[in-house]
């Protein structure tokens, strides 16, 4: 199987137990799904959330990357925010999703 891309991602990731799905989360506004949005629509959504200037630029780039840039079969090198001494290597196996209960943007890995 040929990999499409390999990305370095800074996020929170915890190795799942046997009964859990392996999920990578990304915390960014807005607190609703960005599914099927292109980069311009994501930027417009973040403007509606009150982001401007550099904050808007950074948040738009991160959100667009997480929603549209990462693809199934990509490899992610995850620098973990909670445990900086750990680096996780994961393969993306699921499309972008938004978890309404937890209010988080996710990818199954």
Q: What is the block-wise mean pLDDT of the chain (109 residues), using blocks of 10 residues?
A: 75 80 86 95 96 94 94 91 83 94 92
From the DSSP assignment, how many helices (H) and strands (E) are in the chain? 2, 6
Using N-to-C axis directions, what is the helix angle for 53-64 and 39-48, rounded to 10°? 140
Check residue 2 and give its pLDDT.
62
């Amino acid at each position: 199987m040929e990999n499409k891309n390999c990305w370095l991602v800074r996020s929170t990731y915890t190795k799942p137990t046997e009964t859990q799905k392996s999920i990578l989360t990304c915390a960014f506004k807005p607190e609703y799904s960005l599914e099927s949005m292109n980069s311009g629509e994501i930027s417009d959504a973040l403007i509606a959330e009150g982001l401007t200037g550099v904050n808007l630029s950074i948040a738009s780039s991160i959100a667009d990357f997480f929603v549209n840039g990462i693809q199934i079969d990509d490899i992610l090198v995850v620098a973990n925010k909670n445990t900086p001494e750990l680096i996780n290597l994961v393969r993306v196996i699921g499309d972008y999703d938004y978890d309404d209960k937890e209010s988080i943007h996710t990818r199954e890995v």
